[in-house]
Structure 1
Amino acid sequence: MSQSDLSMNNNMEVRSVLTAEEMAQSRKMQRRRKVIAFAFVTPLLLFVLIAFIAPIGTMLYRSVYHPTVAQLIPDTLDALSGWDETTDIRPDDAVLNRFSVELKQLAMTRKSGKLGEEINRAMPGTSSVIKSTARKFKKLDTELLRNEGATRLLASKPQWKEVEIWRAMKASGAVFTSSSYLTALDLDRNAAGEIVARDTQVYIQLYLKSLKIALMITFLTAVIGFPLSYYLATASPKTANTLMVFVLLPFWTSLLVRTTSWIALLQTNGVVNTFLKAIHVITDPIEMLYTQSATVIAMTHILLPFMILPLYSVMKGIDPSYLRAAMSLGAKPIPAFIRIYLPMTVPGLSAGALLVFIISIGYYITPALVGGTDGQMISNIIAFHMQSSNNWELAAALGSLLLALILILYWVYDRLVGVSNIKLG
């Protein structure tokens, strides 16, 4: 091999070594960039995990996890596991003896009321039975109850002879259960274990009413916000900036203050009724406060900026020469507006509608203050079960179903908006 060939081979080997080193260095730099990028994103990921994923996961878990009864009367539930609840025969005396002993222990630790509260959710009216029996058993000897607990229990209250109370106790003792979801859907299980509709439909009606109120608010904000956004987008910069201050002003005012001001306006002797009586439009005050209409009016006012801002941002970017070109070609103003300008505002309109709808369907403070019984929404019932009735499982089930409903509606919205964008394109 000649000297030139050897030199060429050596140069090629050097270049290949340099290329490999450069590639290794390049991969090292890429890994370093990824680590730096991940370090910048980590606080946001932690915030999302702590503020969103963890609470939602906890809510979903609490909606099916209910260990309270299992922790209060474990021996009784263990004995009831061998009892066939589909029959009309109550559990045998051995089960009742175990329950009598545990009921005395609960009375001594002042936890019998908690047991009565839990069983009462499955079978209304049993709370007083459990509490009164516990007070009687508190004075009895434990050994006596181990032998004669069934006799004493059946003699204390006639309800203990009924099969339904033991069915309710066994059903409430399940650690993981779907009963909260059944209740949230106005369903129940009969003695045979079949899922049947409840006699009173409460929560489904609340979901439908919440949807109706949210849709009404979304429609009203769109009707009011669209022309105002159009005027802001086409006005002079000085006028638009001045009016934008009034649009943003509600964000600088407390939500409680804005809601309370509507109470002052809509109450029986409020500003609206006083003005209408002064100009002789009405003779008797109109009941406007604590109604569904009051909820819609107050929430439309509060959520109107969430419709105006997305619309304004889209309209500001629309070239007004499009309309002038259409009219110069013979189109009339209204058809030109509908066929040319309106389709270009769909992104802003859909974004504003989505914002207003999602915020309004989960609103709590305003319906609670101005809505009364007629204007309550599902969020108020969820808050009631968390704060007053302490039924966190049912509250979690209602919240989970509301989340699922919003996700389904968002999916439908995404499909519709996607199809409309394809057609416009």
Structure 2
Amino acid sequence: MEHAAVIEMTSIRKAQHAAVIRSFLLVFPLVGYLIVFFVAPLCLVLLYSFYSPEVSRAFPLTSQQIDRWQGPDIPDSDTYLALAADLLNPESEFLVGEAARRLNYEISGFRTVISRTKRNLAAADISNPAALKEEVIRADPHWGEVRYWAAFKRATSTVTPYYFLAALDLEVNGTGGISPVPEDRRIFVSTFLRSIWIAATVTLICLVLGYPLAYALISLRPEFSALLMFSVLLPFWTSLLVRTTAWIVVLSQEGIINSLLTGAAIVDAPLNLVFNRTGVFITMVHVLLPFMVLPILSVMRGVSSTYMKASSSLGAHPVRGFLSVYLPLTMPGIGAGCMMTFIIAVGYYVTPLLVGGGGDNMISYFIAFYTNETINWGMAAAIGLILLATVLVLYASLGKLIGVSKIVGLN
């Protein structure tokens, strides 16, 4: 008997092991696809937020010399000799161009300094190393200024806080400390706050509209509930660009809404409903409302109506029963819906750009700008990483309040 039991247990373990292997083989293609085409490129881009090897690769000799320079005077002749050697190295033509763009982030116009110096040194007599320092300064007088060398030294570090500081409207000043950028260049912090404010407002509006809508979906007769569900899901069936463009037509001064309001004499003049914050809210709520309704609806379907009947039989007012019984039971759906809606809303780009005004662009606009227009992946990665950290902090805060397992539907 004992021998048969051992054999049976061994067979069970083998079957379980085989089931685990089969499950892994079934999931492996999807996991591999996500790692290769999503996780790895995302990590590579985020690496550029603090990894900046352009200057050290293009100017290896100068980087070694400038590392020993402490100021406050300009570097010695050996550093100028190394700079000339790196600039005139024919094998580093492309690398120097990349480094010049990186140096231009430190001081505006540094790219011109690099190109001018390289052009003038190519035509100058550099056969005398002792006089090379004067030749470099003569090629461009900015090499005689300490602040340009200080910026060059900062840029030679392969790990830099520049992008994160810039994304927070900060910079390294002339003394090596951190200070706010000038008032006319402070755009990112205000845009971050604006993005969070717009996303939070849209999430709140979606909650106010979506909660009773989800309750109606489980309370109405099946035919009316199906029609209402069709209306909720309708935005999923059209392109985001088409929906946004349609709202521009609907909300314009000659659009349907203003025509109805003026035709009914409700307003004397057409309302300004588009190309401002109002248009952004209306359009984003329309697009994101299903992301609020569906999680709440899924939780409401699992809440038995007997709970409210029991609270009523115990003498509780319907309002008190709702606040004390029904609302807490549906809180996981509210948390999941709010989190999903907020995460999607805070990263919106097309809708605020088309429907909003000049002061309604969200932080995703700058991520797209630095990615596609200026090809400054470091700045785009830093902004994206700060936005990701903000969302994770919010998720952790909401998870602590409600419970992460409830939000993700594990409890």
What TM-score range do you get, normalising by the shorter chain? 0.7 to 0.9
Match of 1:8?
none
Mapped partners of 2:195, 2:302: distance in 1: 35
* Greater mean alpha carbon deviation, residues 39-48 or residues 101-110: 101-110
Residues 1:400 and 2:368 are matched in the alignment: no
Name which of 340, 345, 362 aligns with 2:347: 362
Residues 1:103 and 2:95 are matched in the alignment: no
**In the alignment, is the contact (CA less than 8 A) between 1:292 and 1:371 conserved in 2?**
yes
Mapped partners of 2:138, 2:353: distance in 1: 46
**Identity rate, percent:** 36
Match of 1:76?
62
Mapped partners of 1:369, 1:171: distance in 2: 39
Name which of 121, 124, 127 aligns with 2:105: 121
Aligned residue pairs total 405
Match of 1:262?
247
Match of 2:161?
178
The letter of the residue matching 2:163 is S
Mapped partners of 1:187, 1:159: distance in 2: 24
**SS at structure 2 position matched to 1:290:** coil
Structure-2 change in CA distance of 1:58 and 1:114 (3 Å): closer
Mapped partners of 1:323, 1:349: distance in 2: 19
Match of 1:34?
20
**SS at structure 1 position matched to 2:403:** helix
**In the alignment, is the contact (CA less than 8 A) between 2:121 and 2:139 conserved in 1?**
no
**In the alignment, is the contact (CA less than 8 A) between 1:112 and 1:134 conserved in 2?**
no
**SS at structure 1 position matched to 2:303:** coil
Mapped partners of 1:132, 1:304: distance in 2: 56
The letter of the residue matching 1:94 is D
Task: Give the deviation of 1:352 after TM superposition.
Answer: 0.9
**In the alignment, is the contact (CA less than 8 A) between 2:199 and 2:342 conserved in 1?**
yes
Structure 1 residues 239-264: Cα deviation after superposition (integer angstroms, max 9, x where no partner): 10111111111111111100111222
* Equivalences for residues 223-302 of structure 1 within 5 A: 223-267=208-252, 269-278=254-263, 286-302=271-287
Name which of 89, 92, 100 aligns with 2:76: 92
**In the alignment, is the contact (CA less than 8 A) between 1:107 and 1:138 conserved in 2?**
no
Name which of 279, 302, 310 aligns with 1:317: 302
TM-score w.r.t. length of structure 1? 0.84
**SS at structure 2 position matched to 1:211:** helix
Structure 1 residues 207-243: Cα deviation after superposition (integer angstroms, max 9, x where no partner): 2211111110100001111122222211000110111
The letter of the residue matching 2:319 is I
* Greater mean alpha carbon deviation, residues 104-113 or residues 332-341: 104-113
* Greater mean alpha carbon deviation, residues 69-78 or residues 99-108: 99-108
The letter of the residue matching 2:56 is A
Where do 5+ consecutive residues of structure 2 fail to align? none
**In the alignment, is the contact (CA less than 8 A) between 1:72 and 1:106 conserved in 2?**
no
Name which of 320, 325, 330 aligns with 1:340: 325
Residues 1:197 and 2:180 are matched in the alignment: yes
**SS at structure 1 position matched to 2:160:** coil
**SS at structure 1 position matched to 2:171:** strand
Task: Give the deviation of 1:177 after TM superposition.
Answer: 2.1
Mapped partners of 1:315, 1:65: distance in 2: 48
Q: Give the superposed CA RMSD.
A: 3.0
TM-score w.r.t. length of structure 2? 0.87
**In the alignment, is the contact (CA less than 8 A) between 1:225 and 1:307 conserved in 2?**
yes
Where do 5+ consecutive residues of structure 1 fail to align? 1-14
Match of 1:390?
375
